[in-house]
Chain A
Amino acid sequence: MSGPKYPGFDTLALHAGQSPDPATGSRAVPIYQTTSYVFRDTEHAASLFNMERAGHVYSRISNPTVAVLEERIAALEGGVGAIATASGQAALHLAVATLMDAGEHIVASGSLYGGSHNLLGYTLKRFGVETTFVSPRDPENFKRALKPNTRLIFGETLGNPGLDVLDIPAVAAIAHEAKLPLLVDATFTTPYLMNHFGLGADLLYHSATKFLGGHGVAIGGVLVDSGRFDWEASGKFATLTAPYEGFHGMDFEEESGTRAFLLRARREGLRDFGACMAPMTAFHILQGVETLHLRMPRHVENTRAVVAFLEKQPQVERVIYPELSSHPDYELCKRLLPKGAGAVFSFEIKGGRPAGRKFIESLRVFSHLANVGDAKSLVIHPATTTHYRMSDADLAKSGITAGTVRLSVGLEASADLIEDLERALKVAAKPAAAQP
């Protein structure tokens, strides 16, 4: 039997969250560049502050332009709602701060973006939140690291730097058996490539700076809640299920059920930590979201072409991409990422640091910088940039080598990208000129 139909992903990417502006008829999302909103009268003001009416009070808490982005990403992910933040890092911090108190514990994948590793491994530790890092390759590792005070399991959908595919169904089952939520960093997969909540994740966030924005023009993050995790039944989350003195004794779960997490994150997290998104940033990121369904297939198509080229080059030691049968998560990737394994991957160039340096400096189309997920192709050689102080032995502990090169494949003509790589590989392979 066929039932009523939901709008397609492409339609939601263009429309969700916005009606034509009632004041002007503007079809594009207006940029509400305002800090605050005029109350109709004192009664209206009091009702807004006390959450008796819906609306905006102050743009640190909510803003009409930002709200369009939040609702649109929530729609694309199938969540109850979202909160846009100043960066992806702010989204991770907001998630942790909403759920956890000092003295509690996180089990996290060890295959994380360096910034996330720093936040969990060093910074949050100063505030009493401990993290145990485990290899995500075996989901049982998460189970083995659980403690009585564990409150969160966390991983990246495609882990850094080896592109480990997080087995979300298996890790979610472990989390749920322990009455814990699973939070994933979905930046590399985007809602287009992976159905994160459908696979079992409870919470997710994006560095919207990357593929969502897609054009390298704005820093931002988005935290999304599936609304499926029952905080009350878990019994482990007093921040959501006990009266909170900081908001007039509100019990967020009792007040709002499926919306409890986002309610506290907005009403406490944005209010007190203040890492909100600016309306202009939301506008920039929305321009990217409107073409996400067109860009991601092309990102993947170009990446596959580049991967196929690199695999055949004698100067390349190995290519690390989960769609290759040589990758340990090849089968898992086919199951969880049928539309493709994204557009960020790494390979190892023969010749170590000198070869890597020459390769990077010989590229003309790829841009040498520290970002991923741009419409333009990007490259970085960790051993001579982000990790340049580290010995080869220390690099190995981080899962990379002196020859590791990371590419973020953009939307240029794939033939031009391959030509650029081919030329740079030839230069890198030339022996150094003899010194006089």
Chain B
Amino acid sequence: MDFVVDRRKAFAYIAAHAPDARKRTIVFVHGAGLDHSTFGLQSRYFGYHGRNVLALDLPGHGRSEGPPIPTIAGMADWVLGVLDAHEIAAAAIVGHSMGALAALEAANRRPERIERIACIGVGYPMKVSEAFLEAARRNEQTAFDMETIWGHAAQVPLGGNPNPGMWMYGDMLARLARLAPGVLYNDLKACNEYASDFANVKCPVLLILGRRDAMTPPRAASLLQKLPNAKTEFVDLSGHSLMAEAPDATLDALIPFLAEPR
């Protein structure tokens, strides 16, 4: 559905169910250079299982009007603006990679509005190599290749896709090819520069980490594992793109966590 945040058109996938004030809400926030459809299976599940689902396209991504937001803090404010736009007092957030940082920052800024956070494929600090940043700044194909190859476990190009007939590398490259120039750089730079003490993040946090993640290896989440109410689930064979590489394991981790009472 289309709506307006900060006077610009924004989009959220709602799994064919209009938001209902009687239901609890889950907001999905995608990673760098991606869009709502990275959560296709998982957001659809919760939309058909009694939850309001808002799988967002951040500004400048997917169907949401640009420009992209240059900082994680700005993205967090925008997500909070989405809650305002839908008159949602508080919601759970499922964030992937950059989206997980935005979710944590939203909870840091307005802890009363974030019930719980599932962080998929996350690390902190989320440092990006100079070579990757520079290639993205120049909008070179190399940057898209790095995002694609490091964004999946090493066996992905040779292994079977759980989603029959689909090739994950091709899908990632096709998504990135649709991006306006500069959007990937914007996102990577935002991740690279983000710093926080997470002092106000007291809500339950679930870290879902792929043991074969080359983009944000599990060890990169050690600081987040020390958050006061955090727990971690590892997915053995997955890399950074857990929703695509291990859709069932990711969903099976999300279901009990998001079913817990407020």
* Residues of A in contact with B (beta carbons under 8 Å apart): 1, 3-7, 11-12, 15-19, 47, 50-56, 62-64, 66-68, 70-71, 74-75, 78-84, 226-228, 230, 232, 248-250, 254-259, 262, 266
Given known contacts A53-B41, A256-B40, is B170 in contact with A67 (CB within 8 Å)? no
Q: Of all chain A residues, which has the CB nearest B173?
A: A78
Chain B residues in 8 Å Cβ range of A18: 158-160
| Contact among A11, A50, A80, A83 with B174 in the assembled complex (CB-CB below 8 Å) | A80
Let me know if B157 and A7 touch, CB within 8 A: yes
Let me know if A51 and B44 touch, CB within 8 A: yes
- Say yes or no: is B125 at the interface (Cβ < 8 Å to chain A): no
Chain A residues in 8 Å Cβ range of B177: 228
| Contact among B37, B150, B160, B166 with A262 in the assembled complex (CB-CB below 8 Å) | B166
Chain B residues in 8 Å Cβ range of A226: 170, 174
| Contact among A4, A17, A50 with B161 in the assembled complex (CB-CB below 8 Å) | A17
Bound-state CA distance A55–B170 (Å) is 19
| Contact among B150, B164, B171, B178 with A54 in the assembled complex (CB-CB below 8 Å) | B164
Let me know if B16 and A250 touch, CB within 8 A: yes
Let me know if B160 and A71 touch, CB within 8 A: yes
Let me know if A12 and B157 touch, CB within 8 A: yes
Let me know if A80 and B170 touch, CB within 8 A: yes
Bound-state CA distance A1–B146 (Å) is 12
- Say yes or no: is B247 at the interface (Cβ < 8 Å to chain A): yes
Given known contacts A75-B157, A257-B35, is B165 in contact with A4 (CB within 8 Å)? no
Chain A residues in 8 Å Cβ range of B131: 1, 3
**B148: shortest Cβ distance to chain A, in Å?**
8
Residues of B in contact with A, size category = 35 or more
Let me know if B164 and A255 touch, CB within 8 A: no
Q: Mark B46-58, 1 if CB is under 8 A from A, else 0.
A: 0010000000000
Q: Mark B164-182, 1 if CB is under 8 A from A, else 0.
A: 1111011101110110000
Chain A residues in 8 Å Cβ range of B167: 16-17, 71, 74-75, 79-82
Chain B residues in 8 Å Cβ range of A79: 167, 170
Chain B residues in 8 Å Cβ range of A70: 164-165
| Contact among A5, A6, A52 with B169 in the assembled complex (CB-CB below 8 Å) | A6
